[in-house]
Amino acid sequence: MRFGVPQERDWNSLDDEYFRDIIRFEFESHYPSYLRYPPRRLLWRENADWFRRMASKGWIAPNWPAEYGGMGLSGPKLLIFLEEQERWGIARYQDHGTLMVGPLLIRFGTNEQRERFLPPILACEERWCQGYSEPDSGSDLASLKTRATRDGDCFIINGQKIWTTMAHDVDHIFVLARTDMNAKKQEGISFFLVDLASSGITVRSIRDIAGHDELCEVFLDKVRVPAAHVVGQVNQGWALAKSLLGFERVSLGSPKMPEYGLQILSRIAKACGVEDDPTFRDRFAGLQIDVRHLGDIYHHFAARIHKGEALGQDVSMLKIVATELFQKIADLIVETAGPLAGLAGDTIIGDDTINIMAPFYKARPASIYGGTNEIQRNIIAREILELPSR
C-alpha cells in the first residue's frame, strides 16, 4: 500500500542550502502572517488550512520514511526544516500523530493498523493526543491505575488521564492501561489506540497560569476498544511506551523552542535599544552558542531515528539541555524587557508588538512534562553512569 503523497524529489540528495531555500520560500510565501509567533497553541480551526496545505504537499510528516508517506529527511535536513519553521514563527501542529503514533506504528504496528491509521494522520483527518499521565502517576508512570478488561473481541477501559495536551481539539488518543493487575508495575500494561468519540469518554479542559486551556483531563468510563487496536502484544505495552518516550524526548529536545526564544529576545533587545550593549551581546552570543550545541546533540539522536536505530536512555540528556536552555533564554527575555515584562498579552515596544511573557509561560512547564528533569537526571545517573542509588 502506498501511504500519503509521493515526494517530488529525494530531498536528501540536495545541497543543504538549496534545500533550505526551498523550505524557506514555501513558508515565507504561503504561511499566513497573522499566525506567526502565536503566544499559545492554536486550535485546529485556526491553523487547519495551513496544515492541510502541508499534507497535500506531503510535508506533514518530515520525520517519517518516504515509503510511509513522509519526507524521509535525514538528521541534518530535518533540523533545517525545524529551524525554518521556528525562524518564520509557524504555529505547532496537533502533532502527536506525526511525532509519536506514526513512528510507533511504522516500527511496531501490524499492516492492518498501518493501513487504518497512517493515511488519516498524513491527511490531517485524524489528530491525536497522549493518554499517559494520571493524577497519581506522572513521572512514576508505571504506577498507573487505568484498567482495561478483555470482553470478547474488545477491551473495556476505565480510568482517568490528566495533563493531556489538546485533548479537547483532537479526535483520537493513545492510552496506556493496566491489563494484568497481578503483574509487576512495569508489566501487565497494554497500549491502546482509542477514538475520542467513543461512548464513555469525557474531556474537561484545564486553565493554566497564562489563561490558556491547552491541557485537559480525560475520563474513561466503560469505554469499549477493539482488541485489534492494541499495539504490540497485550501486557507488553511498557516497552512501547518507553520507545515513544524516546521519540517524545527527541521532540522536546529539539532546538525549535530555544530558537523561538532567541527570536523573541532579539526583537525585544532591538525594541528596547540594548542590542548593541556589550554585556547583552556577550550573553546573547553565549546563548546562541548553546543553541548550536543543542542542535548538534539533536542531530545525533535524529540521525539514529532516521536509521531505524533504537534510542537509549541517553536521550534523556537531550530533553534536559533543551528545556533548561529555553528557560535561561526566557529569563533573559524578562530581564531585558524590564518593567514591561509585567504587562500581559501583546505589548507595544518601540516599533514592534511582542507578547513578552509568552516564552516564559511556555518555558516554565517544559522541564516538567515528558518526565521531569529530575527524573531524567536519575535515569542518566542510574542507567548511563551506573551511579549507586544512595
The answer on 380 and 261 residing in a single domain is yes
Among 236, 264, 292, the domain boundary falls at 236
Residue 137 inside a domain? The answer is yes
Give the 3-state secondary structure of residue 175: strand
The answer on 346 and 291 residing in a single domain is yes
For residue 334, how many other CB atoms are within 10 A of its CB? Answer: 17
Phi-psi region of 345 (alpha: psi -120 to 50; beta: other; left: phi over 0): left
The answer on 264 and 156 residing in a single domain is no
pTM: 0.82
pLDDT band at 306 (very low <50, low <70, confident <90, very high): low
- Residue recorded with cell 499559545: 40
The answer, yes or no, to whether residue 243 has pLDDT greater than 80, is no
- For residues 79-99, give the mean pLDDT: 87
pLDDT band at 375 (very low <50, low <70, confident <90, very high): confident
The answer on 70 and 35 residing in a single domain is yes
Residue 111 inside a domain? The answer is no
The answer on 229 and 308 residing in a single domain is no
The answer on 259 and 374 residing in a single domain is yes
> The domain spanning residue 313 has which CATH number?
1.20.140.10
The answer on 258 and 380 residing in a single domain is yes
pLDDT band at 246 (very low <50, low <70, confident <90, very high): low
The answer, yes or no, to whether residue 76 has pLDDT greater than 90, is no
Among 93, 113, 143, the domain boundary falls at 93
Q: Which three cell numbers stand for residue 303?
A: 540521525
Q: Residue 385: is it exposed, middle or buried by C-beta count within 10 angstroms (0-12/13-18/19+)?
A: exposed
**Domain of residue 278, residue span:** 253-384
Residue 110 inside a domain? The answer is no
The answer on 258 and 220 residing in a single domain is no
The answer on 304 and 206 residing in a single domain is no
pLDDT band at 301 (very low <50, low <70, confident <90, very high): confident
pLDDT band at 369 (very low <50, low <70, confident <90, very high): confident
The answer, yes or no, to whether residue 1 has pLDDT greater than 60, is no
> In the prediction, which pLDDT does 129 show?
96
Give the DSSP H or E segment for 195: strand 189-195
> In the prediction, which pLDDT does 242 show?
77
- For residues 178-207, give the mean pLDDT: 94
The answer on 356 and 306 residing in a single domain is yes
Into how many domains does the chain fold?
3
> In the prediction, which pLDDT does 268 show?
94
The answer, yes or no, to whether residue 80 has pLDDT greater than 90, is no
> In the prediction, which pLDDT does 289 show?
96
Q: Are 79 and 295 in contact (CB under 8 A)?
A: yes
Least confident of 174-178, 332-336, 372-376: 372-376
Distance (Å, whole) CA 44 – CA 37 = 16
pLDDT digits (tens, 9 = 90+) for 322-349: 999 999 999 999 999 999 998 888 888 8
User: 126-130, 182-186, 317-321: which has the highest mean pLDDT?
Assistant: 126-130
The answer to whether residue 187 is catalytic is: no
The answer, yes or no, to whether residue 255 has pLDDT greater than 60, is yes
Residue 213 inside a domain? The answer is yes
Q: Could you tell me what percent of the chain has a pLDDT over 90?
A: 61
pLDDT digits (tens, 9 = 90+) for 120-162: 999 999 999 999 999 987 667 778 999 999 999 999 999 999 9
Mean pLDDT, the chain, integer: 90
Residue 304 inside a domain? The answer is yes
pLDDT digits (tens, 9 = 90+) for 11-39: 999 999 999 999 999 999 999 999 988 88
Residue 67 inside a domain? The answer is yes
More confident residue, 40 or 222: 222
Contacts of 211 (CB under 8 A, 6+ apart): none
Q: Are 188 and 235 in contact (CB under 8 A)?
A: yes
> In the prediction, which pLDDT does 368 show?
83
The answer on 353 and 266 residing in a single domain is yes
The one catalytic residue among 134, 248, 374, 383: 248
> The domain spanning residue 220 has which CATH number?
2.40.110.10
The answer on 314 and 231 residing in a single domain is no
Q: Are 234 and 188 in contact (CB under 8 A)?
A: no
Residue 47 inside a domain? The answer is yes
Q: Are 46 and 106 in contact (CB under 8 A)?
A: no
- For residues 70-98, give the mean pLDDT: 87
Q: Give CA angle at 193 (93, 234), nearest 5°.
A: 140
Residue 209 inside a domain? The answer is yes
The answer, yes or no, to whether residue 234 has pLDDT greater than 70, is yes
The answer, yes or no, to whether residue 119 has pLDDT greater than 70, is yes
